[in-house]
Structure 1
Amino acid sequence: MTMVHHSNGDELSEAQNARPLGRLATLSYGAGHMLNDITSACWFTYLLLFLTDIGLTPRDAATVMLSGQVADAFTTIFVGELIDQFGHFKLWHAGGSLLVAVSFSSVFGSCLPCKVMGSDSLTLQTIGYSTFAAIFNVGWAVTQVSHMSMVNCMTLNPTSRVSLASCRNAFSMVANLSLYAVALCVFSVYSKHVDIKIQYRWIAYLSIFLGCCFVVLFLLGTKEPQLKMQSHYKKSSSISWAHWFKKILYYQVALVYMLTRLVTNVSQALLASYVTMELGMGHSSKALVPAIIYICSFLVSVILQEMRWSGWRLKAFFTAGAILWIFSGAGVFILPGRMHNLMYILSIAIGIANALMTVTGISMESMLVGDDLNGSGFVYGSLSFLDKLSCGIALYALESYQGTPDVRVGLDSGISYSVTRYGLGVLPATCALLSAIITCTMKLPESRSRTLVEPLLA
């Protein structure tokens, strides 16, 4: 009788955990990554421009970004393991957010070691900015891994897990749009004669304040996941790394996620330079083109939350997004400056493709973890390691060759095939193609599940 009682209790608990999440739980979770997203948008959009504007060479600026990406990459591995051992997602999230808030303004501030040493040498500036970039990215990694690995521990419902990823991506689009609104206000208030460090410092301050408001909403509105604690009653120790390394699906999902992040991050970092330098568009295009991309991504992310999800649908939607990016990348590569208005149409396609690939790519991570909750931290951490390291190396390589005289070739068509064109057109399209091929080889587990209790569009 006792065994039957425990069995019924386990079945009841599992049934409760498999229930779809409600609207408030989904929205409060999505708000938790706003601080990371808005600072990340500033990092990828303005860091290289800021550093070169204050006098650093493109290679030195790329070194600063690479130092942050490397620190982020290695931190994710250790944080993922610690979260698997000790849990307490919200505590890790709060600590990481605090470190991000304290350190981010220094990334776009003055060089502290330069003031201490009384020197403004390029080497010392590179070291100073690289140090704060590394500190910022450590906090960013702690927040990201704790937030992403919560998904599997909040619910066992596959559709709700995709909805959480989709809502997170929707808030990411809101964060990016918020950054451009903040930047537009700051650049409008301050004239061009004002020290550029002051302008970017105010962008950093306002971004931190806005992001922290959403972090508070997340901490107040999201409960500490209980599935992690329940799994410890069933398995007292965390899952070893070897468990994942024996799975072919782990390598497939890792490659797809890494390639997806290369597509989104590299394109974001080079977009401002492309529209102004390559297409000859006005300075307002640096805000308008990204805004169109993020608005389209936001709308698609919201729509994706209303769908019922299974393994084959994830593969189908991801492949559709990848194919759309391939055509968009080709368009970006061959688009002549005299037809620059077509960039607005390409922006719509890129925004849709980004949302399709990002939401389904993150959801593949969740499907890989499944019910192995004691290993979720390692999975999200190790995949983020590949993401950060690959993006850092790719941007360093592209920026190192930026501006060299032998990479620009004038053709009869009037198109100059520069590093920026290759980086924004060819590289993302190639990554999208490879990721689509890998996705078609996956064998994702099939599951039938109900939709959200309260659809966001209801």
Structure 2
Amino acid sequence: MTLSFSTRFSYGVGHVLNDLCASMWFSYLLLFFHKVLDFSNATAGYVLLVGQIADGIATPLVGYESDRRGNICGYGRRKSWHLLGTIAVALSFPSLFMRCIGCNKDTPEYAQFIYYVPLVVIFQCGWAATQINHLALIPELARNRAEKVNLNSIRYAFTVLSNILVYVTTFLVFKFSGEDAQQLSENDLTEFRDIALIVVATGAVFSAMFHFGVKEHEIEQRFVDSHSGLQRGDSERNDSVTAVVDVPDEKTRLLGSESVASSASEVICEVRLMKSSDWFRKKEFYQMGLLYMCTRLVVNLSQVYLPMYLTDTLKLDKQYIAIIPLIVFVSGFCATIVTRPLTKVLRNEFIYVIGGVLVLASCTWSHFLTENDATSEISIYFLAILLGLGTTIILVMCLSMLSEMVGDNTETGAFVYGSMSLTDKVSNGIAIAVIQNLNPCVCHCNLCVQFFVYVMGWVIPAVCVIGVVAAAVYGDNFKQIDPARSTPENAVNS
């Protein structure tokens, strides 16, 4: 049974609030704290690091608890946690782009840092709860590879559209703000506040659409349809059991050795339910962790440092911090359209390699752009297109491979997604903190120019190469485990 259009659409918009906030978080947080609030490079990096660590710690814990409990008043485990996370994000995020209560430009930096840390922690914990439970719905809603890729593509299409909305909003706010200065300063505090409020209000509307449009109990109904209306019986939830079941629930594997009982209304199914600890004995779990970490590093580092590359290296007007990232995500949206047909003829890991090559081409190009050069002002658009195509392809393919790894083990799906996200959050936070501490810029000088060239042209490509190698190794091992993936046709039709 395929999902209805309304369910797909409602699922797709369920992460929009997170996506809108994440776009501002990665694109503008460092700029806001450093150039508007006048934090030092290192302290601005520490603010982001605190958030990433909080997110990283919360993610596996939320995933573990979501797999075990959280079904509030029959609302559904995943949707209950999603709702709690949405509330936390909506209440805390706008305050991050406002000056702390009672503060002014003379308030000590450490006092402001202490004020923002709890807000960052609340925001990131809520973000984690929403993200993990939204991802954990994919292997429960989709029962084959093509459908999982489709849901991932729809989800990421709305991620791209969310980023586009943030950059369009940013461009319009800056353009009509009445502030004539070309470079960011403390005078732009009101603009960032307005953007944050617009982001949260828009995201809240889409979150409501998700909660009204996706009915978690419909997942079990789909199992009924696909199993010809099996009748409910009693089952033991042990590691390896023989049980009488009718309708597999969220903790029941669909793939198991079945033996037919004496009546058509009862089916004896021998199922083995995976525990969270079982994943630590699988090498594919660690390979996927490396792949996911590198993919997210490439996507997030490029998103964080592209605006700084534009303002400090190319010395472009502040409106370009909205225009160029906007082009990145428009091209990314185009990439989501072509990924699904490609999966019918190519394996996910091969498409990932194609995306990685595009990222490498874009980052290499950044070496040759210079300040006050008319050619550079034109070339930056093509660089953005390549970067958008590449980062979108590798992220969609990575998420699709992660969904395949989870497969029918939906009883621990949230834990797996949480563990993968842990590597993402912590690595991103540490990488950005290290880069910020190595940042030699204390003024707009040649050191700033060269530093962000190194970040864009060496750091990001190095991580991308590791990700490409990890994807190739993981795909080779996974194909040996699942021979059905040896041809793209079998993979789509499985």
Residues 163, 329 of structure 2: 8 Å contact kept: yes
Is 1:208 the counterpart of 2:190? The answer is: no
Q: TM-score, normalised by structure 1?
A: 0.86
Structure 1 residue 241 displacement after superposition: 3.3
Matched residue type, 1:46: Y
Classify 1:237/1:215 alpha carbon distance in 2 versus 1 (closer, same or farther; 3 Å). farther
For residue 55 of structure 1, what is the amino acid of its counterpart?
A: D
Question: Which sits farther off after the overlay, 356-365 or 425-434?
Answer: 425-434
- Which residue does 2:53 correspond to in 1? 70
CA-CA distance at 1:240 after TM superposition: 2.7
Q: CA deviation at 1:280?
A: 2.7
Find the aligned partners of 1:390 and 1:408 in 2 and give their Cα distance: 29
- Looking at structure 1, the residues matched to 250 and 69 of structure 2 have their Cα atoms a distance apart, in angstroms, of 12
Output the aligned Cα RMSD: 2.6
Question: Structure 2 matches for 1:20-419, cutoff 5 A?
Answer: 20-52=2-34, 53-86=36-69, 88-112=77-101, 114=103, 120-192=107-179, 195-224=187-216, 225-226=219-220, 230-232=249-251, 239-309=274-344, 313-337=347-371, 338=373, 339-340=375-376, 341-404=378-441, 418-419=450-451
- Higher RCO structure, 1 or 2 (CA under 8 Å, sep 6+): 1
Q: Is the 8 A contact 1:326 1:432 kept in 2?
A: yes
SS of equivalent to 2:347: helix
Shift in alpha-carbon separation, 1:187–1:236, aligned structure 2, 3 A: farther
Give the superposition deviation at 1:314. Answer: 0.3
Distance (Å, rounded) in 2 between the aligned partners of 1:20 and 1:303: 21
Q: Is the 8 A contact 1:333 1:425 kept in 2?
A: yes
Q: Which residue of the partner structure matches residue 431 of structure 1?
A: 463
CA shift for structure 1 position 435: 1.0
Report the CA distance shift for 1:321/1:307 in structure 2 as closer, same or farther (over 3 A): closer
How much has 1:216 moved relative to structure 2? 1.2
Deviations, residues 49-104 of structure 1 (Å, cap 9, x unaligned): 11112121111111111111110000001001011112611111111011100000
Stretch deviating more after TM superposition (178-187 or 164-173): 178-187
CA distance in 1 between counterparts of 2:94 and 2:271 reads 42
Per the alignment, residue 420 of structure 1 pairs with 452
Q: Is the 8 A contact 1:266 1:391 kept in 2?
A: yes
Deviations 1:95-147 (A, max 9, x none): 101110000011112214859xx982111111111221111111101000000
Structure 2 length-normalised TM: 0.80
Change (3 A) 1:129 1:231: closer
Structure 2: segments with no counterpart, 5+ residues: 71-76, 181-185, 224-246, 254-269
- Secondary structure of 1:41 counterpart: helix
Give the length in aligned residue pairs.
425
Distance 1:252 1:449, change over 3 A: closer
Q: Is the 8 A contact 2:252 2:411 kept in 1?
A: no
Cα distance in structure 1, aligned partners of 2:135 and 2:250: 18
Q: Where do 5+ consecutive residues of structure 1 fail to align? A: 1-18, 411-415, 452-458
Residues 1:213 and 1:351: Cα distance change in structure 2 (over 3 Å): same
Within 2, Cα distance between the matches of 1:450 and 1:25?
Answer: 21
Give the distance between the partners of 1:190 and 1:419, measured in 2 at CA.
Answer: 31
Q: Distance in 2 between matches of 1:23 and 1:273?
A: 40
